[in-house]
Amino acid sequence: MQKRIEKRLTYLLGTIMAAVTLLFWYVPDIHRVSLAPDTSGVATYSVMDLLRSGDEVYKVDTTQTPEEHQLRLTLPRDVDGSAITYTQDAMTKSFELTIPGVDGSYFYDYPMVGSSDGIRELTFAHAGGKGILDITTTKIRILKLTVEDSYVYLDFEDPHDVFDSIVVVDAGHGGKDVGANRENIFEKDINLSISYKLWSYFAKSDYNIGVYYTRVDDSFISLEDRVALANDLKADLFLSIHNNSTASGRMSGINGAEVMYRVSDESGRSREFAETCLNELLEELGCNSKGVVAGDNIYIIRTSEVPVALAEIGFLTNKEELNDLSDENYQDRAAHALYKGVIKTLKNNGVDLEKKVHQAETAE
Ligand SMILES: [Zn+2]
């Protein structure tokens, strides 16, 4: 009984952590710094081949399958399972586990058991008494970590099995690509700020929606990578947040919100998503409407395989809207409008958002 409670608790913690780290997945540099072999002298080696073939020396055994799990690690003596931490990055399909109390002889001392199915690469490094296991999967997965007795089980779940719905939010531009700009106000910053505020609406909601963000900081992300995240996830909706400027970049009286959609989406869902978002923006912001606009000439719209909407919330080249868009409260209202647009569209598309089945409660 005790064991079972512990297992469920660990699972729940793992799920919560997964949810938290998912939202902040794009932090690749933070954890790599101490790992780079050339700067720290720490050797990183691949244990992938060992996992595939089984290896006497390293005691990686693929002939034994851990019951109902993909991989099994053994907890080092005196190490509690709750001390294991991990991050996951959907963009690179990678996971990084930090296991305390581990040194270079870890895989000599403790056998790793499991299957390499769906795993592209698995590397191990150790530094400062901690072992770091980097795992890259072939598809976007969510790590489920279960601790039972002295074992740690790793499973890689399909996000569609974990969430009722999946949404990708894309804060347009970033890094060297500032987007539209006026008076030292950059579109990329406004887009990111609205994206953060949108994050807080999803975080507050009870819906079991997996929201993935193409960026959560001032990184430059290629258009290809942005679309790939939505396409790889087979997201229910792909929302890109932008702001507008006149073609000349000069200040003018032109103002208002417009939302672009993919005409070539024959299901009509892209257009419906765009219309819903536009209506919510107009209602919440009381701004001018520039309507829904065919956006197939835009790369991320044309190549999106899932219903996409690209919202241009306002014009940086309009004095009044530039002021509005710089205002936190206005940004928050824009985010709220987009949040309502997403929820409404999911419901219109028949996604059951009310089932709220949490796997931790049903898992045996
Ligand atoms: Zn833009």
Distance from residue 148's CA to the centre of ligand 1 (Å): 49
User: Do residues 242 and 275 touch, judged by C-beta distance below 8 A?
Assistant: no
Q: Which helix (H) or strand (E) holds 325?
A: helix 319-325
Domains identified in the chain and CATH numbers = 2-160 (no CATH), 163-348 (3.40.630.40)
Separation between Cα atoms, residue 222 and residue 226, nearest integer Å: 6
Measured N-to-C along each axis, helices 187-204 and 328-348 cross at an angle, to the nearest 10 degrees, of 60
Distance from residue 44's CA to the centre of ligand 1 (Å): 40
Distance from residue 94's CA to the centre of ligand 1 (Å): 29
Per-residue pLDDT tens listing for the chain (364 residues): 344 444 444 444 444 444 444 443 333 322 222 222 233 334 445 555 555 444 433 344 455 556 688 888 888 888 888 899 999 999 999 999 999 988 777 777 776 777 778 888 888 888 888 888 889 999 999 999 999 888 999 999 999 999 999 999 999 999 999 999 998 999 999 999 999 999 999 999 989 999 999 999 999 999 999 999 999 999 999 999 999 999 999 999 999 999 999 999 999 999 999 999 999 999 999 999 999 999 999 999 999 999 999 999 999 999 999 999 999 999 999 999 999 999 999 999 998 887 555 444 443 3
Distance from residue 210's CA to the centre of ligand 1 (Å): 25
Residues around ion ligand 1, judged by CB within 5 A, are 172, 179, 242
Q: Where does the chain show beta strands of DSSP type E?
A: 44-46, 71-74, 85-89, 94-100, 113-114, 119-127, 130-137, 142-148, 151-157, 165-171, 181-182, 185-186, 209-213, 237-244, 257-261, 289-294, 308-315
Q: Counting every residue, how long is the chain?
A: 364
SS3 state of residue 170: strand
Q: How far is CA 295 from CA 168, 274, 282, in A?
A: 18, 11, 20
